[in-house]
Amino acid sequence: MNIVMMTNTFTPHVGGVANSVAAFTEAYRDRGHRVLVVAPVFPDMPAHEPDVVRIPAIQNFNGSDFSVVLPVPGRLDEALDAFAPQIIHAHHPFLIGSTALRVAAERDCPLVFTHHTLYEAYTHYVPGDSAALKRFVVELSTSYANSCDAVFAPSESVATLLHERGVEAPVAVVPTGIDAAAFANGDGAAFRAQQGIPADAPVIGHVGRLAEEKNLDYLARAMVQAAQTDETVHCLVVGDGPAAAPIDARFAEAGLEARLHRPGSLHLPGLADAYAAMDVFGFASHTETQGMVLAEAMAAGVPVVALDAPGAREVVNGRNGRLLPATATTEAFAAALGQCLQADEAARRARREAAAETARAYSRERCAALALGHYADCLSAERVAESGARAASRDTARDTWHGSLRRVQAEWAVIRSMARAAGRALGGDDTASPAD
């Protein structure tokens, strides 16, 4: 198959969606399929990228790690003509998602959409975040999903949520696969030595983009409390982002900065070494759609303590870690971390084995085969000869999507105007906001 992956974020950007697109692209190519990736320009991207079309973009939108793509150049159409796509796969409903919708319609290709993100949890990156904007964003992503021939949900929780929100297009659960073997062979001892972590210290770890929506202040407070309870505990936080400084401040305030280790963003094989250096993995996010880093930790044999939320609840159970209520206090979370660290060798061995078993279910090979099977369904004679009712429903959804997009843009314009008026009234700077 000739598959076009259209995404607002891609390597070398570090994040769940970028990692997912890169992982599936590699897995499809390994199986002999052709993949064309359409993504924004990013700093430090490779000079030569076969079958990748880069689109100019505004980076670090409003202080986030995200990019805003600019109008698509004509050379994209030229690249698509040469590639002859059979499947268009959109990884966002906004920005480049609009282009994916146009391309699929113009070239009569099935459109697949992965609902990677709970988008309403990210509206704080827009100036003047409002409840109305959150509603519009949910409506927009739902109508976009209904504009597609198939929707991939990264977890059962997300699939259920999409149905509750009114998604009528076929929904399939397709998690992002991981290279389980790579994560199972990290050198934890070498990583500890490199980071100055004692060889025998209990280590609480975390991996991810360090951003507000990840509930990292909660996690940092729980880590500090666990480290205060046991003076031998060290904490390892892998990743980077705007929440890094507040995490540092939490540990400094407690006088524990010497026991916090932050090596920044890592890639394989260094990332596998970091997981191998951990004894327990802490995860407190409420906004994930899948537990990709949880599966990676488990592939390294590391048990997980997490809050009950989409993504986490599909991965964490009583055998491979602890899943706490979403309302658990930081004290309860710290206690669960401590219990995992203090378990006897037999219990720790059993948890490591259960974690490795869970990770195997998220292997890249298995998840890629699942996705390719759904692509084949979209291309099958039965799918091509879909009923008129389904076609009419999809056209209605696309009209709704365009209407919702206009409402989001209008809401945003009102917010910007109010902010400017307030700024002038208070004698502030009457310059355009970073979102302009």
Q: Which residue reads 């206690």 in tokens?
A: 335
Average pLDDT score, the chain: 83
Greater pLDDT, 121 or 200 = 200
Half-sphere exposure of 134 (CA within 13 A, CB side): 9
* H-run or E-run covering 239: none
Residues in the chain: 436
pLDDT higher than 80, residue 63: no
Percent of the chain residues past pLDDT 90, beyond the cut? 55
Greater pLDDT, 28 or 389 = 28
Position 48 confidence tier, pLDDT thresholds 50, 70, 90: confident
Beta bridge partners of 234: 203
pLDDT (mean) for 130-152? 79
pLDDT (mean) for 149-175? 91
pLDDT higher than 60, residue 431: no
For domain 180-362, the CATH architecture is 3-Layer(aba) Sandwich (3.40)
- How confident is the model over 277-326, as pLDDT tens digits? 999 999 999 877 777 899 999 999 999 999 998 889 989 998 999 999 99
Could you tell me if 338 and 389 are in contact, meaning their C-beta atoms sit under 8 angstroms apart? no
CA–CA gap between residue 386 and residue 389 (Å, rounded): 8
pLDDT (mean) for 142-154? 90
Please give the torsion angle defined by the CA atoms of residues 388, 394, 399 and 402, in that order, rounded to the nearest 10 degrees: -160
- How confident is the model over 2-13, as pLDDT tens digits? 999 999 888 876
- How confident is the model over 97-120, as pLDDT tens digits? 888 988 998 888 999 999 887 665
Position 237 confidence tier, pLDDT thresholds 50, 70, 90: very high
* DSSP 8-state secondary structure symbol assigned to residue 406: H
Asked if 2-177+366-425 and 180-362 have one fold, the answer is: yes
pLDDT (mean) for 87-94? 90
The pLDDT of residue 411 is 46
Greater pLDDT, 266 or 74 = 266
The pLDDT of residue 185 is 93
Could you tell me if 340 and 354 are in contact, meaning their C-beta atoms sit under 8 angstroms apart? no
pLDDT higher than 90, residue 88: yes
Position 350 confidence tier, pLDDT thresholds 50, 70, 90: very high
Least confident among 155-164, 194-203, 373-382:
373-382
Question: Is 3.30.200.20 the CATH classification of the domain at 2-177+366-425?
Answer: no
Position 201 confidence tier, pLDDT thresholds 50, 70, 90: very high
The pLDDT of residue 127 is 46
- How confident is the model over 364-402, as pLDDT tens digits? 999 999 999 999 999 984 455 555 555 555 566 555 555
pLDDT (mean) for 69-86? 80
The pLDDT of residue 423 is 42
Percent of the chain residues past pLDDT 70, beyond the cut? 78
Map out the domains of the chain as residue ranges.
2-177+366-425, 180-362
Rounded to 5 degrees, φ, ψ at 177 are: -80, 160
